[in-house]
Amino acid sequence: MTKEKLLLLDGNSLAYRAFFALPLLTNEQGIHTNSVYGFTTMLQKILTEENPTHMLVAFDAGKVTFRHSTYKEYKGGRQKTPPELSEQFPYVRKLVEAYNMKQYELEMYEADDIIGTLVKQADAKGLPVIVVSGDKDLTQLASDNTTVYITRKGMTDIEKYTPQYVKEKYGLTPQQIVDMKGLMGDTSDNIPGVPGVGEKTAIKLLTNYPTVDEVYENIDAQKGKLKEKLVANEEQAKMSKVLATINCEAPITISIDDLQWDGPNMDALFALWNELDFKSLIEKSDYASEEKETAELNYTIVTDLDATQLKDGMAIHLEIENVHYHTAPQLGLAIVDAENAYYINYEDVVQSESIRAYLQDASKKKYVFDVKKQQVAFARDGIQLAGVDFDLLLAAYIDDPAFASEDIASVVKVYGFSDIQTEEVIYGKGAKREIPEVAILSQHVCREAFAVFTVREQVMKKLQDNEQYELYYTIELPLAKILADMETAGIKVDADTLNTMGVELKGKLVQIEATIYALAGEKFNINSPKQLGVILFDVLGLPVIKKTKTGYSTAADVLDKLKPEHEIIEHILQYRQLGKLQSTYIEGLTKEIHEDDQKIHTRYQQALTATGRLSSTDPNLQNIPIRLEEGRKIRQAFIPSQKGWKLFAADYSQIELRVLAHMSRDENMIQAFLNGMDIHTSTAMKVFHVTEDEVDSTMRRAAKAVNFGIVYGISDYGLSQNLDISRKEAADFIERYLESFPGVKVYMDDIVEEAKKQGYVTTLLNRRRYLPDLKSRNFNLRSFAERTAMNTPIQGSAADIIKKAMIDMTQALKDNNLQARILLQVHDELIFECPEEEITLLEKIVPEVMANTVKLDVPLRADYSAGDTWYDAK
């Protein structure tokens, strides 16, 4: 039998302490959670360390207590409880409830008194007690039987008060704490004490005369001012002691036997943590990990199914060995609804006529997680997946882009479904990763499908409630199919071209390397910022312009400034530039060319970015060099897949600034776009009050930088860095800009204001991004969130527009019976390939579709060009 131990918590005091100890946090609904979070982490820690058998959380009952009849100013002058804290009290209660702990409060009494009374009972029984509070007053309860834990900053840092510890700290016994309070008072509870007597004096007095009464019985031993003060405040001192004394005779109606504790209600606790977004706790808890018992799901492993079993409205899940779905083996397929669950090994799926027909039947609705992945993987075996009506990955991403995850388990957990294990648990991680035996795998895959089936209605309802159904159903879902086709099509890359460039680069790199070593006077690893820093700043003694967390910064902007200082700099910059081309683009891209078709098949992440943009991986085809000529040549390796075909590229002109003009309704900016003039020049004219002819390149460059700055959520510092001017000058630019475009200023102010109010910002097509940090008390976090609030509607709306354009474009290509197809998307541009003879038609259709996909208060414009390589389509 385990040893009994009683844990008593001072609920109110701990909630207060946690609130002020931690930065303001909010959950997705904008409810503040820092106090509950601190309370939870503290509790988790103590429970693990102490294993109590009895528990109680005591709360203060109301404002008025029996102490007020002694002294009506008791706890007077206290600041009102901040509303951010008040709203958390109900959650603290819920938390205690989920932990299955007894909670108790008593009219007219404070939590302290409840705790004191129980401590006394426990002491009588010899039951060991731990009292936990944020309030040092409780330390008076310390005894050989009772230890008082006082939380320090961070909540998990705890000071343990035993009688010995009190003695060391104050030179007093725990019982004397109240005498000390009597003499020195307590500002937080508005206990007066003796004015002019502080902790030092109180301790000194009590060392000689152990109680307040004895101090006064021997008052003649004191002299001077101190004596006067003591005499004048005798009544007040004695009253103060009474106020500070915990009442251990409170008329409580519970006893220790009622406090037996058998551990938390994990389901309830888990649900609450979920609601409060305590993701780290969820992950840490055993409940979510391997030991967790998941409910058995009844399913059967079959080799075939007949048409009557393959119904409309089932969840399907194709399990693929790893994330690289263009090549990774397909393992098996689960087909699940409320009544049935089947698992079919992938070889059997490919063999089965009926299952193939079902998968390709658009009239049979299917629910999946990551339709693009499944579509691509099925397409490898000639199965054209159709009829997908629900994609949990996309729906969850629209619900909240922060939910993005490749792992079904973590996504459904957000919606309260936890009968599923994470992919890490099933496969293991890192080098230990391996495919589990079929029995485990099939169970898991069926659960994945069942999870999709289960949360579907809930997620769809949420999208409807938030008016995001249209974004989901008319943009993201159809886009997934288009992206799958783009990925499957791939883009042809000529390995020989890359190879030739690589050989040439290699020669140059060897030369530059030798030059650098000669100038440095020694060999070192140029690719190591650390070693390079030593050479530049210690060996060569160049001035240090910027430091990083770990040492000297050797970033390009720093090296640029050092150019005049030493010849070595330009060689290092050259080396870096060419080295990047070699490793990332020549070698990196070559590795990704598929043997069989000489193509690169990237994967677009459709549910990843916070703003709604796509991203591209393995390889990233959205950051192929263009700005510098040497790098731009890489694009010569990208070619059409067939003889007689061309590449065709079209890009939106200034889409983000046009979106800004539209959303801000700024008349000057709208006018500038209506005039069709170069926007940076026209900005320069406005800001510098000059005519078009008077705008020189410096002014245009400055105007361009400010335009970018505005889109990013401007700061004078950022602009000053970008333009390499003083902060003052940058601030001046911004001010003049905002005077020239007053609508922009109003818009920027409003958007932050509105985001603070509702907790999120939205885009043109009602995509959301939650910004809890807008309420942070941390300046950095808050400023960042404010800039994000300004940037996301712009970047996100631009992303919405091109996504819609891709859908419209696919339709237009079809309507015109063109062979042309979209291959790549790079945020504001689309790259196509097509037979040469279709170019003329594309030149008409593409810019038209792109310009008209949405109607803004300013025109949208797309520029375009065709060529034999991507380089030439410029």
Partner DNA sequence: TGAATCACG
Partner DNA sequence: ACGTACGTGATTCAG
Enumerate residues 611-650 that contact DNA by CB under 7 A: 611, 613, 615-620, 622-628, 631-632
Q: Which is nearer to DNA, 214 or 424 (CB)?
A: 424
Q: How far is the CB of 18 from DNA (least distance, A)?
A: 24
Q: How far is CA 266 from CA 226, 262, 413, 677, in A?
A: 58, 12, 14, 64
* Alpha-carbon gap, residue 77 to 505, rounded angstroms: 75
* Alpha-carbon gap, residue 232 to 214, rounded angstroms: 16
Chain centre to alpha carbon of residue 129: 40
Q: How far is the CB of 813 from DNA (least distance, A)?
A: 22
Q: How far is the CB of 553 from DNA (least distance, A)?
A: 4
Q: How far is the CB of 785 from DNA (least distance, A)?
A: 9
* Alpha-carbon gap, residue 639 to 838, rounded angstroms: 17
Phi-psi region of 78 (alpha: psi -120 to 50; beta: other; left: phi over 0): beta
Q: How far is the CB of 321 from DNA (least distance, A)?
A: 19
Q: How far is the CB of 4 from DNA (least distance, A)?
A: 41
Q: Please list every residue from 242 through 261 that binds DNA, using CB under 7 A.
A: none
Q: Please list every residue from 141 through 160 that binds DNA, using CB under 7 A.
A: none
Which has the closest alpha carbon to 411: 439, 452, 442? Answer: 452
Q: Which is nearer to DNA, 8 or 706 (CB)?
A: 706
Which range, of 27-35, 82-90, 459-467, 708-716, touches DNA by CB under 7 A?
708-716
Q: Strands of 47-113 (E only): list them.
A: 54-59, 102-105
Q: How far is the CB of 673 from DNA (least distance, A)?
A: 18
Q: What is the 3-state secondary structure (H, E, C) of 162-214?
A: CHHHHHHHHCCCHHHHHHHHHHHCEHHHCECCCCCCCHHHHHHHHHHCCCHHH
Q: Which is nearer to DNA, 179 or 829 (CB)?
A: 829
Q: How far is the CB of 618 from DNA (least distance, A)?
A: 5
Q: How far is CA 683 from CA 661, 662, 716, 738, in A?
A: 12, 16, 18, 11
Which has the closest alpha carbon to 483: 798, 869, 810? Answer: 810
Q: Please list every residue from 288 through 307 that binds DNA, using CB under 7 A.
A: none
Question: 173, 598, 641, 783: which one contacts DNA (CB under 7 A)?
Answer: 783
Contact 420, 408 (CB under 8 A): yes
Hey, how many other C-beta atoms are within 10 angstroms of the C-beta on 780?
9
Which has the closest alpha carbon to 321: 423, 430, 432, 453? Answer: 423
Q: How far is the CB of 418 from DNA (least distance, A)?
A: 24
Length of the chain, in residues: 874
Q: Which is nearer to DNA, 158 or 545 (CB)?
A: 545
Q: Which is nearer to DNA, 454 or 636 (CB)?
A: 636
Contact 608, 517 (CB under 8 A): no
Q: Please list every residue from 40 through 99 that binds DNA, using CB under 7 A.
A: none
Q: How far is the CB of 686 from DNA (least distance, A)?
A: 17
Q: Is residue 705 a contact residue for DNA (CB under 7 A)?
A: yes
Q: Which is nearer to DNA, 529 or 835 (CB)?
A: 529
Q: Please list every residue from 565 through 604 that binds DNA, using CB under 7 A.
A: 573, 576-577, 580, 583-584, 587-588, 591
Q: Which is nearer to DNA, 649 or 685 (CB)?
A: 649
Q: Strands of 457-497 (E only): list them.
A: 491-493
**Maximum distance among all alpha carbons in the chain?**
113
Q: Which is nearer to DNA, 421 or 653 (CB)?
A: 653
Q: Which is nearer to DNA, 469 or 708 (CB)?
A: 708
Q: How far is the CB of 137 from DNA (least distance, A)?
A: 33
* Alpha-carbon gap, residue 734 to 124, rounded angstroms: 73
Q: What is the 3-state secondary structure (H, E, C) of 300-331?
A: EEECCCCCCCCCCCEEEEEEECCCCCCCCCEE
Contact 806, 475 (CB under 8 A): no
Q: Please list every residue from 473 through 492 that binds DNA, using CB under 7 A.
A: none
Q: How far is the CB of 841 from DNA (least distance, A)?
A: 25
Q: Which is nearer to DNA, 348 or 592 (CB)?
A: 592
Q: Please list every residue from 389 through 448 that binds DNA, using CB under 7 A.
A: 430
Contact 363, 337 (CB under 8 A): no
Q: Which is nearer to DNA, 215 or 734 (CB)?
A: 734
Question: Rounded to 5 degrees, what angle do the CA atoms 729, 732, 736 make?
Answer: 145
Question: 179, 666, 828, 838: which one contacts DNA (CB under 7 A)?
Answer: 828
Q: Which is nearer to DNA, 3 or 627 (CB)?
A: 627
Q: How far is the CB of 554 from DNA (least distance, A)?
A: 4
Binding residues for DNA, total number by CB under 7 A: 74
Q: How far is the CB of 497 from DNA (least distance, A)?
A: 18
Q: How far is the CB of 525 from DNA (least distance, A)?
A: 5
Tokens standing for residue 305: 């199914």
Question: 466, 609, 668, 766: which one contacts DNA (CB under 7 A)?
Answer: 609
Which range, of 221-229, 258-266, 605-613, 673-681, touches DNA by CB under 7 A?
605-613
Q: Please list every residue from 790 through 809 that binds DNA, using CB under 7 A.
A: 791-792, 795
The dihedral through the CA atoms of 794, 796, 798, 801 has a sign that is negative
Q: Is residue 573 helix, strand or coil?
A: helix
Q: Please list every residue from 717 through 756 that binds DNA, using CB under 7 A.
A: 717-719, 721-722, 727
Q: Which is nearer to DNA, 272 or 516 (CB)?
A: 516
Contact 719, 734 (CB under 8 A): yes
* Alpha-carbon gap, residue 240 to 736, rounded angstroms: 62
Q: Please list every residue from 522 through 561 that binds DNA, using CB under 7 A.
A: 525, 527-531, 548-550, 553-556, 559
Q: How far is the CB of 716 from DNA (least distance, A)?
A: 6
Q: Which is nearer to DNA, 452 or 569 (CB)?
A: 569
Q: How far is the CB of 178 from DNA (least distance, A)?
A: 40
Q: Which is nearer to DNA, 122 or 862 (CB)?
A: 862
Contact 432, 306 (CB under 8 A): no
Q: Please list every residue from 837 through 856 that binds DNA, using CB under 7 A.
A: none
Tokens standing for residue 456: 């579907």
* Alpha-carbon gap, residue 441 to 606, rounded angstroms: 26
* Alpha-carbon gap, residue 511 to 528, rounded angstroms: 18
* DSSP 8-state secondary structure symbol assigned to residue 581: I
Q: Which is nearer to DNA, 315 or 774 (CB)?
A: 774
- Helix (H), strand (E) counts: the chain: 38, 23
Q: In what order do the strands lie in the sheet with 645-652?
A: 821-825, 829-835, 645-652, 862-867
Q: Locate tokens 């995001």: which residue?
A: 468
**Straight-line distance from the first to the last Cα atom of the chain, in angstroms, rounded to the nearest whole number:** 79
Q: Please list every residue from 752 through 781 that binds DNA, using CB under 7 A.
A: 779-780
Q: Which is nearer to DNA, 502 or 529 (CB)?
A: 529
Q: Is residue 714 a contact residue for DNA (CB under 7 A)?
A: yes
Which range, of 26-34, 70-78, 276-284, 822-830, touches DNA by CB under 7 A?
822-830
Q: Is residue 208 a contact residue for DNA (CB under 7 A)?
A: no
